[in-house]
Structure 1
Amino acid sequence: MISIKSALARPFAKRVYKNIQKWAKNPLETQEKVFQELISEATQTQFGKDHDFISINSHKDFVKRVPVRDYEDLKPYVERVVAGEEDVLWKGKPIYFAKTSGTTSGSKYIPITKESMPFHVQSARNAILMYIHETGNTKFVDGKMIFLQGSPILKEQNGIQLGRLSGIVAHYVPKYLQKNRLPSWETNCIDDWETKVDAIVEETLPQNMTIISGIPSWVQMYFEKLQQKTGKKVGDIFKNFNLFIFGGVNYEPYRAKFENLIGRKVDSIELYPASEGFFAYQDKQHEKGMLLQLNSGIFYEFIKADEFFNENPKRITIKDVEVGVNYVMIISTNAGLWAYNIGDTVQFTSTSPYRVIVSGRIKHFISAFGEHVIGKEVEQAMQEATLNSNVRVTEFTVAPQINPSIGLPYHEWFIEFENEPENLLELAKKIDDSLQKQNSYYFDLIQGKVLQPLKITKVKTGGFQEYMKSIGKLGGQNKLPRLSNDRKIVEEFS
């Protein structure tokens, strides 16, 4: 017998689908409206006054007055907001700061306002409703749903609540989902990730789990613990589990592993959320890309990635984007971020409607497991580990090892030594300790036993030079990338 909740889900999904179609089919008008509203609302803010918002009537005016900034550039304004000042980047004060360890500048305080918060919640809800509308599948709405996320415990700073985005969003789960939702509040508040996952396993094992959601690396750990405890595939433990919702990192490297752990294929929905905004979600099961959220208080600009570091790169709106081109995505939002570079690169898979895939980061990094490790961090770790020693390093690069033959995944450091250490394991530990100190996400992954500590692979003398020569990039301004999010470079040395 069909439940009331299941019966109501389809007409609700249909209504939401129709509302989404209205703006998706009028993308240029939708974005122009968002743009004008953002400028109008922020004219009397400090940022609006500093950048003469009152004279901005068009995107062309905006480009002239508001330069592209990353977090470091915007920091003087953010610090004033953190200190409790009002009407700085957006009217009034934010209601939250999402504290995030960024890929480009360490810890960031990203404002979330009463205007921006609803879109974080709505977009996640709409992703599920679009899936219901397309597939007609509502069976999962009566089962239990798990969202693997950060602790919902928030701190307060100058009257503003502070926490991880996933912990903030946990406070906004609709009432009709509360009794279906796991883990319990108490379990969600456990700080130690391994203890938390063990508790989640105990809570979920006897339940009728139908939706499982989270960053793939975290979910993989949960699945592996379930399998260790029961000796069964996840799909056999939870016979009605039929929808996996994920975001945060590229799922493809995990797909084969997941299908093996589950024991069968399940439908999936990809999300593109960030502390700065909920940008896109998968709206069709068999179309590549995620529907760009054009009606969510975010105005989008794009710069071709291969032109980004030019002196005056061209900023375009969705009107001029092309399918398949790598763009740096620039956002202005109703949380007070203006011409803000979040560091992601995207490609459009469609312009009718506008769908994107996340193609990477504009700077080199490793985030195969959601750790956001950047070049500055690995360089500092190497520097600290070799300080006051006889160890001399000629060159190095770092890559993730996602599927080792034994044990947990890890970061693999390929190092060419001029003067080798007596104890390679000791050096690896020093580097790893430094990296954990610098990067809270990496620390969480190591402590939570999602990753094992890094391993060093020695590269023969002259090995990196030979590699650069083989790709025609020896000498000049060419540099070996300090780290990569894949193993293309290090395949030469493995």
Structure 2
Amino acid sequence: MDILTSLISPFFQHRRGNIEKYAEFSDLIQQKQLKKLLDKARHTEWGKKYDFKSIRSYQDYKERFPIQTYDDLKPYITRMVNGEKNVLWPSVVRWYARSSGTTNDKSKFIPVTDEILWRCHYKGGADCVALYLENNPKSGFFSKKGLILGGSHSPSALNAQAHQGDLSAVLLQNLNPLVNLVRVPKKKIILMDEWESKIKAIVDSTWNKDVNSLSGVPSWMLVLIRAILAKTGKEYLTEVWPNMEVFFHGGISFEPYRDRYKALIPSDNMHYMETYNASEGFFGIQSDLGDRSLLLMQDYGVFYEFIPLDEVDSDNPTVLPLHEVKKDINYAMIISTLGGLWRYQIGDTVRFTSLFPHKFVISGRTKHYINAFGEELMVDNADKAIALTNQQTGAEVKEYTAAPLFMLNKARGCHQWIIEFVKKPGSIEEYARLLDENLKRLNSDYEAKRYKNISLQPLEIVEAREGVFYEWLARKGKLGGQHKIPRLSNSRELLEELLGINRSASLT
């Protein structure tokens, strides 16, 4: 460990001690989070509506307060965006994190209150460093520069009262200026909105700096790394930045990219540390570099509840507090937060790998989706895009499914669709182009990742022969009205099965 890092490291000791208490005092910590949330918001519109001041226990809270979705909260968030205070949270909320939309919207806007900004998101960032230093005591983390690659939507005004942007942009906009002493590139570059110019500016301003840490989404960071190598004419990132030691990553699964990173950064001193920092809050950190599970962060002003995934759509689902969950069960996560989200169904599913302390893996979403490149493409987006494209081309679709196709040698990929048409379009190529354009219109994250083909290539369509999907259902024993074709998946398992049936059908 270098002198500067050894001087700064002790300041993180206190947090490491607090985090160790998760194992023994989980229930107590979570009860305190709930009490603080209710006390803080007791005089808001919702605090009065649900009589927060009379809630004495978790059971009271659970029985009185319904599970919420974004669509349930949208009318209240809209009022907050327009400057109202004491709606879901006491203060006027000036910042909103923009993320992929719900059923009715291209984008949704998550309130980023001052409290959740500092006591959750930034606290999570500091704890990442604390846990990393504990895992790597020989680190020279503070002696070099850290490169942060932000999102695709730079901060901009929603109206005179509020601003919005990707969560990363909101965090960088409000970051303590002292952090800029150890971070590259400059804030004006990282907050650029035009991705092609942004990548070039980052490369030009950082290739000759001494960078030892990276933070960002794996797919986009891989694009940047390849641009750095192209600029310098080097084969490995360690030839450009020989002191490289850690990549803090999140947003999408790292597994499809892991081997490519190891090939580009061939160093035994390189570490990879996953985080779970969503627009709604900072929830998990990989606390052990030898264990890919994430430690659930319990004292960030977030109260957690969990619904077994197979009960999510039931009228009266089982809802469990943290201390009652079990290992190896997929749960939909419900959160109440310092951001004014109350019993909010975030849409992610988790599976606990250990208890006390609680560690988990992100197992997916409550609905089928594709999020291989940070696009968060939901089934509703896909269904609407198919319908629009059918209208534009006169085609009729019987069945379809889609999954990602990775081209890691090019640091990018695409979505591959297999579609069985009842009425074929005049041109499959034109249908694919229009489908791609409609997905961009419906999903802002897909639109961002498709920008100039930097991360996500145009989608591909394989035309299915008649009866391919029927045969797949028959082979699975799933013929019947209650069984449906999964529309989207991060896994290629279903798609490969269908492609295999399609190829065999073409030979008969």
TM-score tier (shorter):
over 0.9
From 142, 165, 168, the counterpart of 1:166: 168
**Normalising by the residue count of structure 1, what TM-score does the alignment of the two structures yield?**
0.95
Displacement of 1:420 after TM fit?
2.2
Displacement of 1:463 after TM fit?
0.2
In structure 2, distance between residues paired with 1:18 and 1:63: 31
- 1:428 aligns to 2:432 (yes or no): yes
Displacement of 1:158 after TM fit?
4.4
- 1:334 aligns to 2:358 (yes or no): no
- 1:465 aligns to 2:467 (yes or no): no
Distance 1:25 1:287, change over 3 A: farther
- 1:20 aligns to 2:19 (yes or no): yes
In structure 2, distance between residues paired with 1:439 and 1:63: 33
Distance 1:386 1:156, change over 3 A: closer
From 379, 382, 385, the counterpart of 1:375: 379
- 1:240 aligns to 2:237 (yes or no): no
Structure 2 counterparts to residues 131-170 of structure 1, below 5 A: 131-150=132-151, 153-155=155-157, 157-170=159-172
From 196, 199, 205, the counterpart of 1:197: 199
**Which residue number in structure 1 is paired with residue 99 of structure 2?**
100
Deviation string 1:261-316 (CA, Å, 9 cap, x unpaired) is 22345201110001111111111112341111111111000000011111100111
- 1:315 aligns to 2:348 (yes or no): no
Higher alpha-carbon deviation: 478-487 or 227-236: 227-236
**Which residue number in structure 2 is paired with residue 261 of structure 1?**
264
**Which residue number in structure 1 is paired with residue 496 of structure 2?**
491
Higher alpha-carbon deviation: 206-215 or 441-450: 441-450
In structure 2, distance between residues paired with 1:368 and 1:409: 9
* Aligned residues of 2:155 and 2:173 also touching (Cα < 8 A): no
Deviation string 1:442-470 (CA, Å, 9 cap, x unpaired) is 11111141111111011111000111111
Displacement of 1:169 after TM fit?
0.8
Deviation string 1:198-227 (CA, Å, 9 cap, x unpaired) is 221122211111001100010111122223
Code of the aligned partner of 1:220: L
**Normalising by the residue count of structure 2, what TM-score does the alignment of the two structures yield?**
0.93
In structure 2, distance between residues paired with 1:136 and 1:404: 33
* Aligned residues of 1:409 and 1:451 also touching (Cα < 8 A): yes
In structure 2, distance between residues paired with 1:287 and 1:255: 15
- 1:385 aligns to 2:386 (yes or no): no
Structure 2 counterparts to residues 292-303 of structure 1, below 5 A: 292-303=296-307
**Which residue number in structure 1 is paired with residue 419 of structure 2?**
415
**Which residue number in structure 1 is paired with residue 451 of structure 2?**
447
From 210, 226, 229, the counterpart of 2:228: 226
Displacement of 1:385 after TM fit?
1.5
Indicate the SS of the match to 1:121. Answer: helix
In structure 1, distance between residues paired with 2:24 and 2:61: 25
In structure 1, distance between residues paired with 2:494 and 2:40: 48
Code of the aligned partner of 2:10: P
Higher alpha-carbon deviation: 153-162 or 446-455: 153-162
Higher alpha-carbon deviation: 385-394 or 180-189: 385-394
* Aligned residues of 2:389 and 2:431 also touching (Cα < 8 A): yes
Distance 1:117 1:390, change over 3 A: closer
Deviation string 1:129-157 (CA, Å, 9 cap, x unpaired) is 11102320331321111010036534253
In structure 2, distance between residues paired with 1:470 and 1:285: 41
Displacement of 1:323 after TM fit?
1.1
* Aligned residues of 2:30 and 2:298 also touching (Cα < 8 A): yes
In structure 1, distance between residues paired with 2:358 and 2:91: 33
From 277, 280, 289, the counterpart of 1:276: 280
Displacement of 1:177 after TM fit?
3.0
**Which residue number in structure 2 is paired with residue 362 of structure 1?**
366
Indicate the SS of the match to 2:345. Answer: strand
| Identical pairs, percent | 36
**Which residue number in structure 1 is paired with residue 109 of structure 2?**
109
In structure 1, distance between residues paired with 2:182 and 2:138: 17
* Aligned residues of 1:145 and 1:211 also touching (Cα < 8 A): yes
In structure 1, distance between residues paired with 2:244 and 2:392: 55
Distance 1:404 1:459, change over 3 A: farther
* Aligned residues of 2:81 and 2:161 also touching (Cα < 8 A): no
Flag structure 1 segments of 5+ consecutive residues without an equivalent.
Answer: none
- 1:209 aligns to 2:208 (yes or no): no
In structure 2, distance between residues paired with 1:482 and 1:437: 19
In structure 1, distance between residues paired with 2:258 and 2:173: 30
* Aligned residues of 1:111 and 1:335 also touching (Cα < 8 A): yes
Displacement of 1:347 after TM fit?
0.9
* Aligned residues of 2:276 and 2:283 also touching (Cα < 8 A): yes
**Which residue number in structure 2 is paired with residue 57 of structure 1?**
56
* Aligned residues of 2:82 and 2:162 also touching (Cα < 8 A): no
Deviation string 1:385-430 (CA, Å, 9 cap, x unpaired) is 2215442222111111123787841011111122322321111111
Displacement of 1:99 after TM fit?
1.9
* Aligned residues of 1:102 and 1:372 also touching (Cα < 8 A): no
Code of the aligned partner of 1:300: Y
Indicate the SS of the match to 1:115. Answer: helix
Deviation string 1:48-91 (CA, Å, 9 cap, x unpaired) is 12222233211111121111111001112212212221101111
* Aligned residues of 1:103 and 1:365 also touching (Cα < 8 A): no
RMSD over aligned CA atoms reads 1.9
Indicate the SS of the match to 1:280. Answer: strand
Deviation string 1:315-348 (CA, Å, 9 cap, x unpaired) is 1101110111100000011211100000000011
Distance 1:406 1:226, change over 3 A: closer
**Which residue number in structure 2 is paired with residue 456 of structure 1?**
461
Flag structure 2 segments of 5+ consecutive residues without an equivalent.
Answer: 500-508
In structure 1, distance between residues paired with 2:23 and 2:115: 21
In structure 1, distance between residues paired with 2:443 and 2:155: 21
Q: Paired residues, what number? A: 493
Code of the aligned partner of 2:27: L
Displacement of 1:20 after TM fit?
2.3
* Aligned residues of 1:246 and 1:269 also touching (Cα < 8 A): yes
Displacement of 1:176 after TM fit?
4.0
Deviation string 1:98-119 (CA, Å, 9 cap, x unpaired) is 1222365531121121221112
* Aligned residues of 1:140 and 1:240 also touching (Cα < 8 A): no
